[in-house]
Amino acid sequence: MLYFQFLALFFGTVMLTVAPFVAMRGERWIDFLREVVYPEEQPVWFWVAGAASVFLVLVTWYAELTTSVHLSWVMTLYITLAIPKFYLLLFRYRQTRKIMVSLMDRGRVFSLGLAGFVYCMGFAIICLGIFAF
């Protein structure tokens, strides 16, 4: 139970902290995404982050299958969404970058939409960690 509560509180807090930062920085956040997260060539750190994500998914599924925590499947599903994300970033980088750059070209609308989505998801996840586990 503490594992799922820790995951929910950690990810929820990070998302609630990052969302206002994304909204306030606007264009500078988009520049950061273009230079650091989605440069022309695929960064090497994607492979390390992908391996860490796979490890986290495996540990989470192990905890899901060996414990009976109420609503833990929600957190397991959320963590499992890292797999398709890193598949696209590792093996389909050019196509993914092209889509992300086209979204980032929308400027302030993109950063406000991203901040709003991240904030809402962070609020839902932190509520899950506080009230469900």
Domain spans in the chain, listed from the N-terminal domain onward: 2-132
More confident residue, 116 or 25: 116
pLDDT tens-digit series, residues 88-109: 989 999 999 999 889 888 888 8
Question: What's the rounded mean pLDDT across residues 46-59?
Answer: 94
Work out the mean pLDDT of the chain and round it to a whole number.
Answer: 91
pLDDT confidence band for 127 (50 / 70 / 90): very high
What whole-number distance in Å separates Cα of residue 85 and Cα of residue 4?
A: 21
What whole-number distance in Å separates Cα of residue 62 and Cα of residue 12?
A: 22
What whole-number distance in Å separates Cα of residue 101 and Cα of residue 60?
A: 32
What whole-number distance in Å separates Cα of residue 125 and Cα of residue 6?
A: 11
pLDDT of residue 30: 87
* pLDDT of 32 higher than 80: yes
What whole-number distance in Å separates Cα of residue 25 and Cα of residue 30?
A: 8
Instruction: Please count the other Cβ atoms lying within 10 Å of the Cβ belonging to residue 59.
Output: 13
Are 58 and 101 a contacting pair, CB within 8 Å?
Answer: no
38: amino acid identity, one letter: Y
pTM (2 d.p.): 0.84
